[in-house]
Structure 1
Amino acid sequence: MLSLDEESGSSSTLLRYPAGWRQDDPQALTADEELFVLAGSLTVGDVRHERYGYAHLPAGYVRPAMASPHGAVVLTFFSGEPRAAAAVTRGVDEARLVEAVDAFDGPWTGNFHPRFPSGAGRKFLREDPYDGEQTWVLGTMPLRWGRRAEKHPVVEEMYLLAGELVGHVGTMRAGAYFWRPEEEWHGPFGSPTGNLMLFRTKGGPLSTVYEDDEREFSWQPEHRPILPPGLTELGGKPWDGGCACY
């Protein structure tokens, strides 16, 4: 479990499917399921999602069958508590359905904002047709950095897929994660290695306000992540494979 909203039941999770796992009976959930394969492969119906394969399955979407012959680790987001629907129907909103996107395909885009530091590209995976919520991957070059803090009017969520990200509360490594509320100032950031990140917004599309003044930037910041209750006993120290920086 990466994050959980106890009121709505929405969550961000890492799900591990063991080798040989199968779900042969048709099934639909009462919540949206958004998935991004980190390792292995997962088949949903006739669609096989390999590494960095993505899908957004709205509530009510019928999965005829699911399987993971060799196992998989899947970054999965639910819009509510993921319960099986009482009856399997075809009442899905097709406008919100994204059956498959391969993040290895498609072009990179850039020039998001005049103050956005150069040296990065973005690939959109999804934009909701009603509220504009977005999911995308962002890749940056090694030694890229900026000196301005920023904020957004929406919730911003990130999972670090590869590389390192240096910020004002420490160094994040592959497997690190944050969930940031709206209007929260953060940054500046840089990456000594270059990196690949998966981002989501909740509450609308991404827009950014930058501070007018630049700040000092350190490639070796003090490691002091902001942690939720239950992780503070880790003492704010990184461990092998990454750190939980919120």
Structure 2
Amino acid sequence: MARDHIEFIQSADVIQKTWLVDGLLEGGLTRILSFDTETGASTELIEWTQNWENSSGYFNCDVEIFVLSGEIRIGQLRLGRYTYAFIPEGVCIEAWNISENTRALWMPERHPSFTKSLNDVPEAKRELYIPSYSSELIPWSATITPGFPPGAMRKTLRKGLDGGRSTWLLGCLPQFVEPFAEYHPIPEEEFVLQGSLTTQAGHMTPGCYFWRPPLISHAPAYTETGYFALVRGGNPHLSYHAWEPPLHTYYPWDWNK
């Protein structure tokens, strides 16, 4: 794994370039938020500003897609705002198209390529395929990270194998506070959808993104407004406390005035 530690960036500040995937037609623009120089895995913010379509086929790796605005259609399926898809390696998807301005997070597990086809490859794991999962239909549930403070809930988009990776939405109430620094044994990344979160690294607002390698300690956090983010981490997402900081490092100076 060779992704740089990113703590944190505003995606709007990332240079936009042509989105290129072997086997897919051009037509989109990308902002590469993080990239693994060894495997080609990435997290990218893709934007389509014109009509775009592609034939049916399959990818050479697992791909996750999370729509931020607009709409992607795969066959008869509609992926609208805050809709998630998981396309396993070798699973054939129907022809797909975009007919309006659309933005989505694109997360392949290695350097992706697309092969036109009408069928799955042998031994493709179609049972893992999540073609369209609207977050509006997912009930909020308690967080499952051991020791996570009260005031937060999650919507699980996908749970990987035990010890593997998972993807979920994290929602925090206004005035939520995480009063300790922590670290995790596997990578963690977040993309802010709504609200804001203040840490010792700065003030994260919609469009902000971070990617942390394993064992990176990160400081306490506080939100005055509430916080809503896409998260990719572990299953389970184990957390270990690093140290107890002074109160003023995570609350606003005038929080009790």
Report sequence identity in percent.
30
Q: Give the superposition deviation at 1:3.
A: 0.5
Change in 2 beyond 3 A, CA 1:45/1:87: closer
**Residue 176 (structure 1) aligned with residue 208 (structure 2):** yes
- What do residues 112-160 of structure 1 show as CA deviations (whole Å, max 9, x unaligned)? 3563221111010001236531000001111111211111111001001
- Does the 8 Å CA contact 1:188/1:215 hold for their aligned counterparts? no
1:150, 1:179 → 2: CA distance?
15
Aligned pairs for 1:27-176 (under 5 A) are: 27-85=57-115, 89-91=119-121, 92-110=124-142, 112-113=144-145, 115-129=147-161, 131-176=163-208
Change in 2 beyond 3 A, CA 1:185/1:94: same
Aligned match for 1:4, one of 13, 30, 35: 35
Change in 2 beyond 3 A, CA 1:120/1:63: same
Larger proportion of strand: 2
- Does the 8 Å CA contact 2:146/2:238 hold for their aligned counterparts? no
Could you say what secondary structure the match of 1:16 adopts?
strand
Q: Give the superposition deviation at 1:13.
A: 0.3
- What do residues 171-214 of structure 1 show as CA deviations (whole Å, max 9, x unaligned)? 11100000001111112001111010100026x53111124635
Q: Give the superposition deviation at 1:87.
A: 5.8
Counterpart residue number, 2:47: 16
Change in 2 beyond 3 A, CA 1:167/1:20: same
Q: Scaled by the length of structure 2, what TM-score is found? A: 0.79
- Unaligned stretches of 5+ in structure 1? 222-246
Change in 2 beyond 3 A, CA 1:53/1:86: closer
Change in 2 beyond 3 A, CA 1:206/1:114: closer
**Count of matched residue positions in the alignment of Structure 1 and Structure 2:** 219
Letter in 1 for 2:137: D
- Unaligned stretches of 5+ in structure 2? 1-31
Cα root mean square deviation, aligned: 2.0
2:192, 2:242 → 1: CA distance?
24
Q: Give the superposition deviation at 1:95.
A: 3.4
Q: Give the superposition deviation at 1:85.
A: 3.0
Aligned match for 1:209, one of 237, 240, 246: 240
Q: Scaled by the length of structure 1, what TM-score is found? A: 0.82
2:117, 2:56 → 1: CA distance?
10
